[in-house]
């Protein structure tokens, strides 16, 4: 999903929520995210939380990993 300038926040919100839905169906991916965040949460937030598209994209990466 590409994020356009016109609907930037809406597209980022959709991508983020889609990733959460996918994580809910992939326990291994959710566990992987939790494990990663338990060690790197502060750094992860600094790197991704300032921009909705970056945060949504990062969540998407965790939800689509083949584990």
In a domain, 3, yes or no: no
Structure confidence at residue 1 (pLDDT): 58
The 10s digit of each residue's pLDDT in 13-52 is 999 999 999 999 999 999 999 999 999 999 999 999 999 9
In a domain, 37, yes or no: yes
1 part of a folded domain = no
Domain encompassing residue 27: 9-64
Note whether residue 24 is domain-resident.
Answer: yes
- Could you tell me if 59 and 16 are in contact, meaning their C-beta atoms sit under 8 angstroms apart? yes
Count of domains in the chain? 1
Q: Is residue 45 part of a domain?
A: yes
Name the residue with higher pLDDT: 6 or 42.
Answer: 42
Q: Alpha-carbon distance 41 to 7, whole Å?
A: 28
pLDDT at residue 12 greater than cutoff 80: yes
What is the reported pTM?
Answer: 0.84
Query: In which band, very low, low, confident or very high, does the pLDDT at 4 lie, cut at 50, 70 and 90?
Result: low
In a domain, 4, yes or no: no
């Amino acid at each position: 999903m590409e994020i356009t300038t016109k609907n930037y926040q809406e597209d980022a919100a959709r991508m983020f929520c889609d990733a959460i839905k996918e994580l809910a169906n992939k326990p291994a991916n959710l566990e992987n995210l939790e494990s990663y965040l338990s060690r790197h949460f502060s750094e992860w937030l600094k790197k991704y939380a300032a921009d909705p598209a970056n945060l949504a994209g990062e969540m998407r990466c965790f939800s689509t990993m083949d584990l």
